[in-house]
């Protein structure tokens, strides 16, 4: 399907979440996403009266392997001073991988024993949710209040030039929402059973110990870095960071790589490297944990280079989470659990703008081959999103 086909079909797509999802899935948008998938988003939103702002960030310097990222901010303004509710998400997807029973970017509906399923990369994470967001606002009158979409092409990648760039753009424009809902797939066993009111922070730290290469028979002429690295990792592995809090599970530190490039049996290596990843709750900050690891590494003669990818955040239970719970229960009869478990999302950036909560589809097949969403869930999620938006705009 070319861009012209997307434009021609846009006007008849926006009200139908299944058609929207098919349209988006058919746009191959492995991270970082640009172009065609944003053409589809622009058409869906333009016909609904949204002003669409698309822009590129992250053009790498010459010789850099950095790829540019496309982002989209769309807004439909209500009356001056009316509430502003935002939907947020990403249209980039992880690579399809091997072993699909269908084309990963050829959306296909199949009848299964439990009901019809829509297959395709991004069906769950998270083009399906975005399709529902668009369909949800199609029936909300413009006079109800201000609605916006915060859509990035760089959530599954480094997340350097995506939502953070969108936040800068929104601040420049003066378009700051009162509340924001991120459509990540938060449901576990059935649609509606979980929402995310916070997330743990994340820091990855690269460790290095320099030694002196030499012959194993002459250790006094060499300096083996491996015992030092083992001591660093042993100290780190023994750390108990905390016991958790009322809303967060205990922080955990995991050794994710240990590497000594040495192919000879009779050579003391000259360098050892390792990497750790820490997911941490709100008893810590990325900086405080980085300082702790740096001190341990230096104690044993090594160095540590941290990259903090997000700080923990919590949107305390209150009016916003109750809006979501009420909408979910009205459409499904389910009381969603408020949770902070799981990985990170772009909510870690959006929380700097306004209160943010994540709620979306069942996450069982995200990032897997044969990723699929129940067609009935698309219709139900659309109704839930419509209720949430209407409640937020009338608040």
Annotated binding site for Zn(2+): 90, 125, 156, 184, 367
319-332 vs 375-393: helix axis angle to the nearest 10?
140
CA dihedral 226, 231, 237, 241 (to 10 degrees): -140
Work out whether strand 179-182 and strand 313-314 pair parallel, antiparallel, or are unpaired. Answer: unpaired
- DSSP H or E stretch at residue 243: none
Q: Of all residues in the chain, what percent are helix, strand and coil, respectively (each to 5)?
A: 30, 25, 45
Per residue in 193-227, is it b (16+ CB within 10 Å) or e — as a string? bbbbbbbbbbbebebbbebebbeeeeeeebbbbbe
CA 135 to chain centre: 22
Is residue 335 among the annotated active site residues?
Answer: no
> How many other β-carbons are positioned within 10 Å of the β-carbon of residue 186?
27
Active-site hit among 92, 175, 358, 377: 92
Q: What are phi and psi of 106, to 5 degrees?
A: -120, 85
Q: Among candidates 285, 257, 255, 259, which has minimal Cα distance to 270?
A: 259
Identify whether the C-beta of residue 122 lies closer than 8 Å to the C-beta of residue 128.
Answer: yes
Work out whether strand 194-196 and strand 337-339 pair parallel, antiparallel, or are unpaired. Answer: parallel
CA–CA separation, 34 and 68 (whole Å): 8
Distances (CA, A) of 162 to 72, 90, 152, 361: 9, 9, 5, 22
What burial class does residue 353 get, using C-beta atoms within 10 Å of its C-beta: 0-12 exposed, 13-18 middle, 19+ buried? buried
Active-site hit among 42, 155, 175, 377: 155
CA–CA separation, 136 and 383 (whole Å): 7
Is residue 298 among the annotated active site residues?
Answer: no
CA–CA separation, 80 and 325 (whole Å): 29
Q: Token pair of 85, please?
A: 């509710």
Residues labelled as active-site residues: 92, 155
């Amino acid at each position: 399907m070319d861009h012209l086909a997307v434009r021609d079909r846009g006007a008849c797509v926006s009200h139908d979440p299944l058609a929207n999802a098919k349209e988006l899935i058919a746009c191959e948008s492995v991270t970082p996403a640009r172009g065609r998938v944003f053409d589809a988003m622009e058409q869906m939103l333009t016909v609904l009266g949204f002003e669409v702002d698309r822009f590129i960030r992250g053009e790498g310097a010459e010789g850099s392997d950095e790829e540019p990222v496309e982002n989209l901010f769309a807004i439909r303004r209500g009356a001056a001073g009316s509430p502003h509710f935002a939907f947020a998400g990403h249209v980039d997807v992880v690579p399809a991988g091997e072993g699909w029973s269908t084309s990963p970017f050829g959306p296909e509906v199949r009848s299964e024993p439990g009901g019809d399923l829509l297959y395709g990369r991004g069906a769950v994470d998270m083009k399906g949710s975005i399709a529902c967001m668009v369909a949800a606002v199609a029936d909300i009158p413009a006079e109800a209040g201000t609605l916006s979409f915060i859509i990035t092409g760089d959530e599954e990648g480094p997340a350097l030039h995506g939502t953070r760039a969108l936040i800068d753009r929104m601040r420049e424009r003066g378009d700051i929402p009162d509340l924001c809902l991120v459509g990540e797939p938060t449901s576990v066993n059935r649609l509606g059973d979980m929402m995310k009111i916070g997330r743990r922070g994340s820091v990855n730290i690269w460790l290095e110990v320099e030694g002196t290469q030499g012959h194993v028979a002459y250790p006094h002429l060499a300096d083996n870095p491996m015992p030092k690295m083992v001591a660093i990792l042993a100290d780190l592995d023994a750390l108990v960071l905390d016991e958790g809090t009322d809303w967060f599970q205990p922080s955990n530190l995991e050794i994710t790589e240990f590497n000594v490039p040495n192919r000879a049996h009779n050579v003391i290596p000259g360098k050892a490297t390792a990497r750790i990843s820490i997911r941490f709750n709100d008893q810590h900050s990325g900086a405080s944990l980085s300082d702790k690891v740096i001190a341990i590494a230096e104690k044993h003669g090594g160095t540590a280079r941290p990259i903090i990818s997000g700080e923990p955040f919590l949107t305390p239970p209150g009016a916003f989470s109750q809006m979501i719970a009420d909408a979910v229960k009205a459409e499904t009869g389910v009381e969603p659990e408020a949770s902070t478990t799981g990985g990170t999302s772009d909510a870690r950036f959006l929380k700097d703008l306004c209160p943010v909560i994540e709620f979306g589809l069942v996450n069982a097949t995200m990032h897997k081959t044969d990723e699929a969403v129940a067609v009935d869930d698309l219709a139900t999620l659309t109704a839930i999103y419509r209720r949430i938006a209407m409640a937020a705009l009338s608040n």
